[in-house]
Amino acid sequence: MELAYQFLLSLGGILLIGQAVSTLGHRTFLPRVTLLLLFGVIIGKEGLNIIPPFFSNQFEIIAEMTLLMVGFLIGGKLTKDTLNHRINNILWISLSAAVFTVIIVSVGLIWSGLPTELSIILGCIASATAPAATLDVVMESNDKSPFSNLLISIVALDDAWALMLFGIGVAVATSLSGHVSDGSPILFASKEIGGAIILGVLLGFPAAYITGRLKPGEPILTEALGLVFICGGLALWFDVSFLIASIVMGAVVANFARHHEYPFHEIENIEWPFMVIFFVLAGAMLELRMIADIGLIGIVYIISRILGKYIGARVGGQLSRANKTEKNWVGIALLPQAGVAIGMALVASSKFPEHRQMLLSLIISSTIFFEIFGPVFTRVAIRHANRAY
């Protein structure tokens, strides 16, 4: 009985305050994602410590459910019309932003005195962007401009590039350090990405045909959520990227479901409560004291990542002949970073145990910075870009 009332009180309180925070976000320069994270910090273990442990222990499953919906919605933006008109911009900017981030962060950390192999790994991890925070800032602004559509399409490819670069980076670092790897890092990345793509396609085509038949032209919520969660469950079972799998499935359904206009539209109506719980619990679990441990190397990492995203997106925009506004602001909008980076850091730390402490301390502490301030940069970029159109 005690656990039940604590759970319900926690859930109800977080949802109500999340709604208040969302309203406040429209009236301040801070996006609601940042406000939710800060609220989570206040009530979490670094602050008042009032969230029951058994509730916060559910963070992993809540995060996976939320990111599955986020991935599907992002995939739904990758329609034929978008890709036909902007595929050149999307590919060049996304790839260039990822590669330049790896190069600039790696060089900056080597200059700071870190071992070359560790610097390369950290550079690869820096290339990842948080899809949930980026998508929420776009949805909060209710913006459907060409800039926001381009941004979401770039974010959809971001994790794939990050995983590929991470696999290559770990292989190079293994060679440089003389480690004997217990498994090919490139094979690991290929399985994560390739397996996820295959799974997304295999589920996407039946979903595109089956959904919307019970209620013509309008997929109902139960079938939408059922397919999305099955996609996530199978991805975790086969140990492939559930985020990429859900993005691919969303893209397939969006492009091949002929009998309804907007696949799984109902998911948008229930995604926000999951997002509220996800970001509040993410804030509650942040360990702010770790920021003090990173020192000069952490500052170099943060500055290098900002420069890498900005310069890379600008070069990609130049190569793909994007307009001036997109070249100036897309890189700034790609700064949010969260769970994918931490996941890669955990994989790398198991392969390089001698660098475990530095890897985890630096990535977790810098993720705190980018998780809180990254959405602010994204909102600023969207607002400035829209004024320029």
Alpha-carbon distance values, 23 to 27, 36, 331 (Å) = 7, 11, 28
CB 60 within 8 A of CB 68: no
Q: Give residue 1's pLDDT band: very low, low, confident or very high (50, 70, 90).
A: low
Counts of helices then strands in the chain (DSSP H, E): 16, 0
Using CA atoms, how far residue 284 sits from 17, 39, 55, 287, in Å, is 14, 8, 11, 8
**Confidence at 130, pLDDT banded by 50, 70, 90:** confident
pLDDT at 305: 95
Query: By mean pLDDT, which of 47-51, 147-151, 189-193, 304-308 is the weakest?
Result: 189-193
Q: Is residue 55 part of a domain?
A: no
Provide the number of structural domains found in the chain: 1
Q: What is the mean pLDDT of the chain?
A: 81
- Read off the pLDDT band of 103 (50, 70, 90): very high
Q: Is residue 230 part of a domain?
A: yes
Q: What is the pLDDT of residue 171?
A: 76
Stronger pLDDT, 195 or 54, i.e. the higher one: 195
Task: Give Cα 14 to chain centroid, integer Å.
Answer: 22
pTM summary value: 0.82
Q: Does some domain include residue 30? A: no
Asked if residue 145 belongs to a domain, the reply is yes
Q: Round to whole Å and give the CA distance between 101 and 246.
A: 25
CATH number, domain of 355, equals 1.20.1530.20
- If you compute the radius of gyration of the chain from its CA atoms, what whole number of angstroms results? 20
Residue 122 confidence class, pLDDT cut points 50, 70, 90: very high
252 in any annotated domain? yes
| Spatial separation of the C-alpha atoms in residues 151 and 129, rounded to whole Å | 11
Q: How confident is the model at residue 246 (pLDDT cuts 50, 70, 90)?
A: confident
Selection from 149-153, 171-175, 238-242, 280-284 with the highest mean pLDDT: 149-153
The answer to whether residue 311 scores a pLDDT higher than 60 is yes
Nearest alpha-carbon partner for 244 in 128, 331, 117:
128
Average pLDDT over residues 35-56: 80
Residue 295 lies in a domain: no
* Percent with pLDDT over 70 in the chain: 86
- Report, as an integer, the average pLDDT of 29-37: 79
200: containing domain: 61-281+301-388
Q: Which one is predicted more confidently, 206 or 28?
A: 206
The answer to whether 167 and 189 have CB atoms below 8 angstroms apart is: yes
- Report residue 257 CA to chain centroid gap: 26
Helix (H, G, I), strand (E, B) or coil at 27: coil
* Mean pLDDT, rounded, for 323-331: 89
Whether residue 127 is contained in a domain is answered as yes
Q: How confident is the model at residue 109 (pLDDT cuts 50, 70, 90)?
A: very high
> Is residue 29, in this structure, part of any structural domain at all?
no
Mean pLDDT (whole number) for 193-205: 89
